[in-house]
Amino acid sequence: MSGLTKEDRIQTVFGGGGHVVILGAGASIAPTIRNEEPSGKILPAMNNLKDLIGLNDIIDTIDPGLKSDNFEILYSNLYQDNAKSKEIIEIERRVKNYFSEMQLPDEPTIYDHLVLSLRPRDLIATFNWDPFLFQAYSRNRKFTKDLPHMAFLHGCVALGYSKEDKSAGPVGMQARRDGGLFEATKLLYPVKVKNYTDDEFISKEWERLKFWLNHDSTKLLTVFGYGAPDTDVEAVNLMDEAYGGKDARNMEQFEVIDVQDQETVAERWSRFIHTHHYDYSTDYFDSSLALNPRRTSESYFQHIMPNTSSEAFSESNPIPPDLKTMTELWDWHRPLIEAEEKWKLENKD
């Protein structure tokens, strides 16, 4: 086997393939984000959300039988008891306000690495309400427009939706000069039974994810920091249905980035994993996204089906985890994007 170099990896560009990345809270919570939120706000997990956001005065007034230390269970109990109660309305208001004020730091974060690691053939779908993915996407478009598509499965505090224009954009902005306001999207809170067709925006986001999961060109699926909790059982069922089951995707590669131990993770996602076709890591920088940014599909094709596209494997091209500025991050990715531009010119119809 020939020993091809990192430069070969950079210059090896294929037209096919597709990579879906599904994000949960673990993708946003420190130390994954790697930099503190500028105002000092901490991204909550479900077991400390009520304390960080300040919900205890509301919780003190509710029936003890509905209480739980876990926000998902607490909200589900309240929702099933009375979906339109004043407690529900006030909890939703405080959650939205807390997340809306959050900002990415100026330095590169995992989200900046993530959006630059993929291309327009790929999709990032997130369950998170925070604005980080949208903010990272927006600021990296100053460097390149060749970024992945996105889907916000539970809504996002940074995004609005215009029913008139059937389109999404920055909340509070206008879709066009004469109207079409992007009104704040509803945040879909964790309840055991969700109807993803009730809300027009949420429905469109799920249709986008299902399209990508079902598409024959999608060969890679990464789950990053999403634990598939019991309160999201309907969401996981929808994903499984769109994916087609592990036996129908026997050549695809499934990847998990999670701090949970490997045995727990493998069991949790067993209906998506065909035999040994999965990778596991506890650190983003050990994942396929960081080992071969913008070339995850090329690496897959060379390793899984080497005779179809190449006679040899290229060496991985891992991104340094310690880039300090956005300029350094962009400069590192520049040769990859230049190779893609060259490939597009050479393969024009």
pLDDT, tens only, 296-335: 999 988 877 655 444 567 789 999 999 999 999 999 999 9
Q: Which of the listed residues 78, 100, 122 is the one where a domain comes to its end?
A: 100
What secondary structure does DSSP assign to 241-284, as a single string? HHHT-TTTTTT-EEEEE-SS-HHHHHHHTGGG--TT-EEEESSG
The count of structural domains within the chain is 3
Do 211 and 321 have their domain in common?
A: yes
pLDDT bucket at 1, cuts 50 / 70 / 90: very low
In a domain, 211, yes or no: yes
Measured between alpha carbons, how far is 92 from 141 in angstroms, rounded to an integer? 31
Q: Work out the pLDDT band at 69, boundaries 50, 70, 90.
A: confident
**3-class secondary structure, 203:** helix
Residue 186 carries which DSSP code? P
Q: What is the mean pLDDT of residues 108-113?
A: 94
Distances (CA, A) of 113 to 77, 132, 140, 144, 241: 37, 12, 10, 13, 30
Residues 62 and 131 occupy one common structural domain: no
Residue 35: band (very low, low, confident or very high) from pLDDT cuts 50, 70, 90: low
Name the residue with tokens 């706000």: 41
Cα 164 to Cα 114, 176, 196, 200: the distances in Å are: 32, 11, 20, 11
pLDDT value of position 312: 61
Dmax (CA) of the chain: 69
Cis before 31? omega within 30: yes
State the pLDDT at residue 32. Answer: 46
Q: What is the mean pLDDT of residues 103-113?
A: 93
Co-location of 220 and 273 in the same domain:
yes
Higher per-residue confidence, 247 vs 57? 57
The average pLDDT across 156-172 equals 91
- Please tell me the predicted confidence (pLDDT) of residue 43: 81
Pair 162, 132 in one domain: no
pLDDT at res. 3:
61
CB-based contact 46:53 (threshold 8 Å)? no
Q: Which of 189, 239, 237, 238 is nearest to 21 (CA)?
A: 239
Residues 207 and 329 in one domain: yes
Give the separation between CA 349 and CA 345, rounded to whole angstroms: 9
| Phi, then psi, of 14 in degrees rounded to 5 | -110, 160
Residues 93 and 167 in one domain: no
183 and 229 co-located in one domain: no
pLDDT in the model for residue 292 = 96
For residue 39, is it within any domain? Answer: no
Q: Among 30-34, 40-44, 205-209, where is mean pLDDT lowest?
A: 30-34
* 8-state DSSP, 4: B
Q: Same structural domain for residues 279 and 140?
A: yes
Domain-embedded: residue 144: yes
Q: What is the mean pLDDT of residues 92-101?
A: 92
Tokens of 74: 């607490």
3-state helix, strand, coil in the chain (%, to 5): 40, 15, 45
Mean of pLDDT values over 333-340:
98
User: Are 82 and 210 in the same domain?
Assistant: no
Q: Tell me, yes or no, whether 315 and 213 share the same domain.
A: yes
- Looking at the structure, tell me whether residues 277 and 202 fall in a common domain: yes
Is the pLDDT assigned to residue 34 strictly greater than 70?
no
| Last-in-domain residue among 67, 83, 100 | 100
Going by pLDDT thresholds of 50, 70 and 90, the confidence category of residue 289 is: very high
**What is the rounded average pLDDT of the residues 177-188?**
83
User: How high is the pLDDT of residue 180?
Assistant: 77
Within this chain, do residues 143 and 279 fall inside the same structural domain, yes or no?
yes
For residues 128-157, average pLDDT: 96
Nearest residue to 128 (alpha-carbon basis) of 27, 237, 205: 27
| pLDDT at residue 274 greater than cutoff 80 | no
Question: How many C-beta atoms lie closer than 10 Å to residue 312's C-beta?
Answer: 11
| Residue 42 maps to a domain | no
Continuous H helices in the chain: 6-11, 49-53, 56-59, 71-81, 86-100, 110-117, 132-140, 200-214, 233-243, 262-268, 288-291, 296-304, 306-309, 326-346
Task: Please give the residue that has the higher pLDDT: either 182 or 175.
Answer: 182
Type of residue numbered 161: Y
Q: What is the chain's mean pLDDT, rounded?
A: 87
Show the domain range for 162. 157-188
Residue 288's pLDDT is: 96
Contact present, 122 and 19 (Cβ < 8 Å): yes
Closest Cα partner for 39 from 102, 131, 112, 81?
A: 102
Closest by CA to 117, choosing from 338, 337, 344, is: 337
Q: Mean pLDDT, to the nearest integer, of 143-166?
A: 94
65-86 average pLDDT score: 86
Q: What percent of the chain has pLDDT over 70?
A: 93
Q: What pLDDT shows up at residue 245? A: 76
Range picked from 21-30, 136-145, 169-178, 248-257 for highest mean pLDDT: 136-145
Assigned domain for 137 exists? yes
